A and B are shown apart, each in its own frame.
Chain A
Amino acid sequence: MTSIQRFVTGILPALLGMSISTTGLAADQLETSAKPDVAGFKSRVLPLLEDFCIDCHDNSIRKGKFSLEGINPDVTSDDDYEAWRLIAEQVEFGDMPPKKKDQPSAEQRRVLLAWIKTEMRKGPLPGASSNEKLLLPEFGNHVDHQALFSRRLDRVYPMPPRIWRLRPAIYNATVPRLGERVGGLANGLNQLDGSEFKDYAATYFLDEAAAVPLLGNAKKVAERLVSPQSKDRVFKQLVEDAGPPNDKTVDEAIRTAFHKALGRAPTTEERARFKAFYDKAAKVGGYKSAARALLTAVLMQPEVLYRQELGDGKVDSFGRTRLSQREIAYALSYALSDLPLDEFLDAAKKGNLATREQVAQLVAERLKDDSKLYGKNPRVLQFFREYFHYPFADEVFKDEPEGGQHEAGRLIGDLETTIRDVLRADKDVLAELLTTRKFYVNTHYKQDKKKGVVLQKAHHKQGKYHTAFNLPPDWKWSVDRQPITFPQDERAGVLTHPAWLAAWSGNFENHPVQRGKWVRTHLLGGSVPDVPIGVDARVPEAEHKSFRDRLRMATSAAECWRCHRKMDPLGVVFERYDHYGRYQRRDAGQPVDASGLISRTGVPELDGKSVSGPTELMDLLARSPYVEQVFVRHVFRYFMGRNETLGDANTLQDAHKAYRNSGGSFNALVVSLLSSDSFLLRQSPQTGSP
C-alpha cells in the first residue's frame, strides 16, 4: 500500500459521499453549515503533507508522538481540531519541517495555512470546538486572532441557549437572604483551581457530593422560613399548632416561595404540581413536615441553582433569539455583582431592556462609581484579580527573607489600592496597569465614620514589610508619601509588583517559565501546551550560577526548547527581581541579566524586539494595539463566561473600538460587551443552522 493510500484510509470513504463545497467562503459570512472541503484536502493539502511531513509523522515513526496518518480532513471535528491547530502553528512560524529537511516554498506554506484557516471557520459553531476540554478558559487563545480582528462579518453568530450554575459567591450572597440571613450554610459548589477565570458556564455541574450539602442548606433555610422569627406570615401559618392550613394558604405559600427564590410567580402547572407534592408529603408525614419539605423543594429546583439564558422564544431571520428581559436583568446583575440588582430587575419589569441602547445606557449608569474603594461592582475588580492572578501570592508558602519580611496579604492589598486608583480614573486602563510606577506601601482605602473613605495605613505594625519594595530598613510610613513613585527602570506595572511576582514564583525561587507563559497567553495571545506527561522538570542546583543560567541548563535541549522558547525569553526578564519581588542587581553573585526577546506573535510591531529588562518589555507591550486586542478577548471571556468563537468577531472588534475611542476606558469596554449580540442573543436550536 502506498503511503497516500494508507494516509487516507478510513476517513475519505465516509466523507466522499457528502456534498462538497469547493469554493472558499464569502468574505463577510461564516458558513455555519458548510461541509468540509475534502476535495481541497485531497488535491492541495494531502500532497504537501505527503511531501514534507509523513516521512517522520506516520504511524510507524510517530516523531514527537505525532502521526498524521488517518487525520480527519474535517478540521472542526472533535478528534483532530487540536492537531490541525498545531499544524497551522508549525507552518506559520516555520517550525516544521526541521531545518535539515526539505522545506516547502513560501507559496506552499501559504496554501496549507490558508486551507486550514478556512476550514476552521466552518461548522455550526465556527471556531468553537465541541471538544469539552477546549471550552475551558485556558484554551481561549486557540481561536485564530487574525480571523477575529481582521475582517467584519455580516452579523454575530451567537452561542446556543445555556444554563449556568451559580458561582459560590452568588449562592453565598443570595441563599442566606432567603431565610432571614441564616448562617452556617455548607459549601456545596465546587470551583476550579488554577490561574484561569473561575466562572465559566461550561465548567460546572451539580452532583451528589454537591446536592447533599445543598439539600442540608435548603432544609435549614426552610426551617428558618417557618420559624417564629420568619417575616413571612404565610409560611408560619403552614405550621400553626391549631391544625393544617387550608388550600388557599398553601397556594399562597407556594407563590410567596417562588417569588422569594426565583423572583417570579409560579406557573399554573407549577402551582398544581407543588401543591400535589405538599399533599403527598402531608399524608406521609403530617402537615408540619410537609411545610418544610415544600419550601425545601422550591429551593432545590434547578432553576434556583442554575441561571437561565434560554431566550424569549421569538427568532429572527437568522434563527437567533434574544434573552428575555428578565434573563437579561439577571445576566447583567451577575456580570457585575453577586446579587440581583434592582435597577436591572425594575427595568426588565418595565420593559426597559428591550433594545441594545437601553441595555448599554443602564450598564453605563451602573458602572459609574466615584467611591475611592471602587467596590460598587465587585465583579470589575474581580476581573483583574482573576486575570493577573496576584491574590495567589497568599498561597505561595515562603520562609521569611533574610533581613526582610514577606507579607503576601499586605502586598495584595497594596496592589489593589493602586488598581482601584487606575479603575477610578478609567483612562488607558490596560497601559496604566502595565506601566504604572506608582505603588502604595502598607496603605489602603478605609471607611472612616467621620471622614468617609480615606487613605490609611493598612497594618499598624510596619515591621520590615517595606523592604519588599527595596525601601531602606529605617523607612518611615506617612500618608503624604503615598503612592510612592518608583524609578523608571525599577518598576513598571502589575507584573513588576511584588504581589504578582510572589504569586508567580515558587517557594524558594522565581518561576520564569510560568511568568513567561502568562505573558505569552495573557498579553501576546499565544498558547503553550501542557507539560508533557512524564516530564519531571527541575532546575538543576549549581553554585555561583544565576537562576537564569540554571534554567537554561534545564530547558535548552531541543525537545524542551520547542515549547520553552515561547515562555523563557519572556519570563527571564523578571529575574530583575528575587522571588519575594525585591529588585536585585546580582543573583548568586552574578550580575543579573534581565534581557528578553519577543517572538512568535505573528505581529510585525512586536516580533524580534529585544528588551533589556522588565520595564522596557512592559512599556513596549503597553503601546501595542495587538496586546489591547488580546486583553479585550480576556475581558470578553470573563464577562460572557465562555471562550470567544469566530462568530463573535464583530463583538470583539466593537469592544476594542469602544475601548480605543474612549481613551482606554474599561467601563466603555464592558458596556460594549454587555450590550453586544454575543451577550444578548442565542442561536435558537429549534430552527437549526441558518
Chain B
Amino acid sequence: MFNRRTFFRGATLGLGGLYFAPFLRDVEGATGKSGKPARVLFFVQGNGVYPHEIQPKGIDLPRDPDKLEDRPLKGHAMALSLEPLEPWVDKMTMIHGLSGRIARGSHNSGFAALGCWPMGKKAYGETVDAGLARHLESIYPHIGLGVSNKALSVTYNVTSADRGKALPSVLNPVLAHKRYFAAGAKGAARKDFDVDTTLLDFMADDVKRMQARLTGSERAKLERYLEAFESMSGRQSKLASLADRIAEATPTIDPKLGLISDTKTGPTGVFDRLEAQFDIAAGTMIAGLTNVVTVSAGAGPDRIGLSCMASEVDSKNSGFIGSHGIGHGGSAAGMSSGECHARIRRKCLEKLAKFIRTLESIPEAGGSMMDNTLIVYMSDSAEGHHPLCTQWPFVLIGDLGGRLKLGNRYLRYPWYGKPGHRTIANLYVSLLQAVGDKRDTFGIHDNALLDLNQDGPLAELTV
C-alpha cells in the first residue's frame, strides 16, 4: 500500500541525504547506537591553526615527508599555544599532513571545512558534526555556539544538516543560556518556556483546523507539519520533566555578556564570551540535552575574522590587533605576528581546558564524562590565513569512549599527493564510522588526487 509519508521521506532522502529532525529519546546518558555514551565537541578556530605553531618540542616537521610517522606525544613539551592542553597529553592526538584542498578558501572555508566541498558552495550538504549528531541522538541533536566580533545573535557559519540547511551558531551567550536552560530556570525565563509550550499546542490545534478543510492528499500534506508541533510540544514536556537536572547543570554566566559591542577597538570581552559558550556547551552535555556541540571562534563565511580575538591579547596596552595584519605577518602591540597568533590560540585553549576539567569532574560509567567525549580542535581556514589546504592540522582530545585508537599519539601523514596521503574527509569517515555511520566516503573528492584512494577511514585510528 502506498504511504505518503514514506514517499515524502524518500523525496528528501534521495536528494541530498537525510537531515535530521530532533529526536526524542530517553536522555539518561548519551548512548549512541552502541549503548555506550559518546559525545563530540568541535572547536573551530578562525584564520588557521599554523602547523609549526602547535608542533611539540623535539619533533621535526619536515616539509614534504613521504612516510607515515606515528609516535607517542608524551615526553615532548607543548608549544606555547597548546600549553593549556598539556595536562591531557595522554588523551591528545595530533594529526599533521591531512589535506582538504577541495574546501580551499581565503581567510575561512566555513561550512566546507567540516563538509569537504568547494568553499563557495556554502551549506552544500551534511557537515561531519551534523552527521555525528544524527547518530548521537538527543533532545537537541546539534548545538552550535560561537563568538564573533559582529553584533549578531545568531550566525550560520560552519555546520549544515543538508543542502541549504545551515544550522545556527548562537553568538549571544545570554540568548543561548536562555534557549537551552529555560526549562530549569526560575522566574521570567521559565515563564517564556511555558508560553512556548502553550504556543506549540495552539499551533498543533490550528493545523488540525486547516486539515479539516482539506481531503485526501492535500490533507496529508499537512500531516508532518502537525507532527512537528506535536513533537516540539513533546520536547517541551520532556525538558520540563528534566527541569531539576537542567537546573543543576545550568552554568552561571555574566548577564552582561549579551550582544558583543560594535566597537572594534578596546576590549570587547570576547574571551569571556568564549568561556561562557564553553560553559554552556558543558552544561548542555551534562544535562543530557545534546551529544554534539560545535563551538566556533571567529570562524565562518561571514568573514568574522580574527580581530575579535586579537584585540584583547595585549591586555596591558589593550591596543587593537588587526587579524588581517597579523595574518599577513605584520607585527602588532609590540609582538611579532607569530606571537600574537600563538597568544590568541593559547587564550582560547585556556577556555577549552576549563571545559575539559568540567567534564572530568562529572562521574559517568565508572569514569568521568570526559572518558566518553572527543574534542576536535581545528581551524576552518586549515593551516593559515590564506591557506593552501594541502595540510590541515588537527588536535584531538579523548577517544570517544574507546571507539577510536586515540591518545598520546603524534601522526603525520605523507605529503599531499604522495602514496599513503590522506585527506580530512578520511578523518571524518573515521569519526562517523565510530558512531555507527556506514558511509565510506565523505564530501567531494579532490580532483587533483584522483590517483589516490580518497575513501575509507584513517586505518591508523580504527580500533
Contact = CB atoms under 8 A, between A and B. Distances in A.
Interface in A296-318: 296-297, 300-303, 305-306, 310
A207 B4 CA distance: 13
A491 B105 CA distance: 36
Contact of A293 (B195, B210, B214, B218): B195
A281 B166 CA distance: 31
B11 A192 contact: yes
Given A206-B224, A212-B232, A397-B118, A186 B191 contact: no
B4 to A, nearest CB: 6
B291 to A, nearest CB: 18
Contacts of A162: 218
A208 B200 CA distance: 12
A302 B192 contact: no
B221 A281 contact: no
Interface in A179-196: 184, 186-187, 190-194
A405 interface: no
Most buried by B among A192, A194, A205, A305: A205
Nearest to A302: B210
Contact of B198 (A192, A280, A399): A280
B166 A190 contact: no
Nearest to B208: A302
Contacts of B448: 399
Contact residues of B: prevailing secondary structure: helix
B163 A193 contact: yes
Contact of B216 (A78, A187, A190, A685): A685
B214 to A, nearest CB: 7
Contacts of B202: 277, 280, 297
Interface string B11-42: 11001100111100000000000000000000
A507 interface: yes
B228 A132 contact: no
B169 to A, nearest CB: 12
B161 interface: yes
A289 interface: yes
Contacts of A132: 2, 4, 7
B194 interface: yes
Which of A190, A208, A399 is the most central at the interface, judged by chain B CB atoms within 10 Å of its CB?
A: A208
Contacts of A277: 198-199, 202
Q: How large is the interface on A (under 10, 10 to 19, 20 to 34, 35 or more residues)?
A: 35 or more
Given A132-B7, A165-B221, A191-B164, A208 B447 contact: no
- Among A212, A216, A285, find the residue whose CB has the most chain B CB atoms closer than 10 A: A285
Which of A161, A300, A685: most chain B Cβ within 10 A? A300
B168 interface: yes
A284 B199 CA distance: 11
Contacts of B206: 297, 300-302
Contacts of B217: 130, 202
A212 B22 contact: yes
Contact of B164 (A78, A187, A303, A399): A187
A138 to B, nearest CB: 12
Nearest to B153: A184
Given A205-B8, A207-B228, A190 B191 contact: no
Contacts of A242: none
User: Which of B4, B118, B154, B196 lies at the interface centre, i.e. has the most chain A CB atoms within 10 A of its CB?
Assistant: B196
A193 B207 CA distance: 28
A285 B225 contact: no
B23 to A, nearest CB: 10
A186 to B, nearest CB: 7
A471 interface: no
Interface in B174-219: 188, 191-192, 194-196, 198-199, 202-203, 206-207, 210, 213-218
A184 B225 contact: no
A290 interface: yes
Contacts of A397: 118, 444, 447
A160 B218 contact: yes
Nearest to B156: A186
B85 interface: no
A186 B168 contact: yes
A296 B198 CA distance: 12
Interface in B246-270: none
Contacts of B461: none
A397 B162 CA distance: 20
A286 interface: yes
Contacts of A202: 217
A302 B198 contact: no
A52 B140 CA distance: 60
B444 to A, nearest CB: 8
A213 B202 CA distance: 18
B271 interface: no
A160 to B, nearest CB: 7
B68 interface: no
A515 B56 CA distance: 54
A211 B218 contact: no
A657 to B, nearest CB: 32
Contacts of A508: 447
A253 to B, nearest CB: 16
B199 A293 contact: yes
A132 B4 CA distance: 7
B195 A285 contact: yes
Contact of A206 (B2, B164, B225): B225
A203 interface: yes
Contacts of A192: 11, 15
Interface centre among A184, A194, A310, by most chain B C-beta atoms within 10 angstroms, is A184
Contacts of A280: 198, 202
A163 interface: yes
A210 interface: yes
Given A190-B164, A297-B202, A163 B194 contact: no
Nearest to B223: A205
A507 B214 CA distance: 47
Interface string A147-177: 0000000000000111101001000000000
Contacts of B213: 310
A290 B15 CA distance: 40
Contact of A190 (B2, B165, B232): B165
A27 interface: no
B458 interface: no
Contacts of B218: 160-163
A17 B155 CA distance: 64
A447 interface: no
A212 B20 CA distance: 11
B227 A281 contact: no
A533 interface: no
Contacts of B232: 208, 211-212, 215
Interface in A358-378: none
A133 interface: yes
Nearest to B207: A302
A321 to B, nearest CB: 13
Nearest to B166: A187
A78 B206 CA distance: 33
Contact of A302 (B4, B12, B225, B227): B225
A436 B231 CA distance: 55
A193 B232 CA distance: 28
B229 interface: yes
Contact of B203 (A163, A284, A289, A300): A300
A397 B164 CA distance: 19
Nearest to B5: A205
Contacts of B191: 284-286, 289
Interface string B267-299: 000000000000000000000000000000000
List the 8 shortest-distance A-B pairs measured between CB atoms, nearest first.
Answer: A285-B195, A211-B228, A208-B228, A285-B191, A208-B21, A132-B7, A207-B224, A206-B225
10 contacts: A160-B215, A168-B164, A207-B225, A207-B227, A208-B224, A211-B228, A211-B232, A277-B198, A285-B192, A303-B210
Given A206-B224, A215-B232, 8 more contacts: A211-B228, A281-B199, A285-B195, A293-B198, A306-B222, A310-B214, A399-B448, A508-B447
